[in-house]
Amino acid sequence: MAHPCLTCGACCAYFRVSFHWSEADAAHGGRVPLELTDTLRTHERVMRGTSQAQPRCIALDADIGRYSRCTIHDRRPSACAAVPASLEFGARSAQCDKSRLAHGLHALTEADWIGVGEAERNPPPDA
């Protein structure tokens, strides 16, 4: 069974993704592609497409609820990496649940994780 995020994408089409400008500044060790971001406030950038009435991240390649992938997954902002899928590590994720429900998807259950191995799960944000 595949990781539930690979058939979701709801969070990337629901939330504004803002982060410190240095995450998109290669000179300061940033990895987020600058061309995929916009200025939000003095010290913040935002993923293009997420700071609007109906957000959808420019890096999202998805048909919400059917397939999903982040085209910059290995270079995504820390804000994205900090959002676990519900029950991925035993606890509910309010952000995951809220975005899934907003897109007409059910909140994840333990059954959604059957067959998903530890190696396929995303590492916790503080790992």
Q: Could you list the residue range(s) of the whole structural domain that residue 40 is in?
A: 4-83
pLDDT reported for residue 120: 72
Distance (Å, rounded) from C-alpha 39 to C-alpha 18? Answer: 9
Find where tokens 């820390």 sit: 78
Residue 103 lies in a domain: no
Residue 29 lies in a domain: yes
Taking residues 3-32, what's their average pLDDT? 95
pLDDT reported for residue 2: 86
- Is residue 42 classed exposed, middle or buried when 0-12, 13-18 and 19+ CB atoms within 10 A define those classes? exposed
Taking 80 as the threshold, does the pLDDT of residue 31 lie above it?
A: yes
Residue 123 lies in a domain: no
pLDDT tens, position by position, 56-69: 999 999 999 999 99
Q: Give me the phi and psi of 114, to 5 degrees please.
A: -65, 125
Q: Residue count of the chain, please give it.
A: 127
pLDDT reported for residue 127: 43
How many domains does the structure of the chain reveal?
1
Residue 95 lies in a domain: no
Residue 112 lies in a domain: no
Report which secondary-structure segment, H or E, holds 69.
Answer: strand 67-70
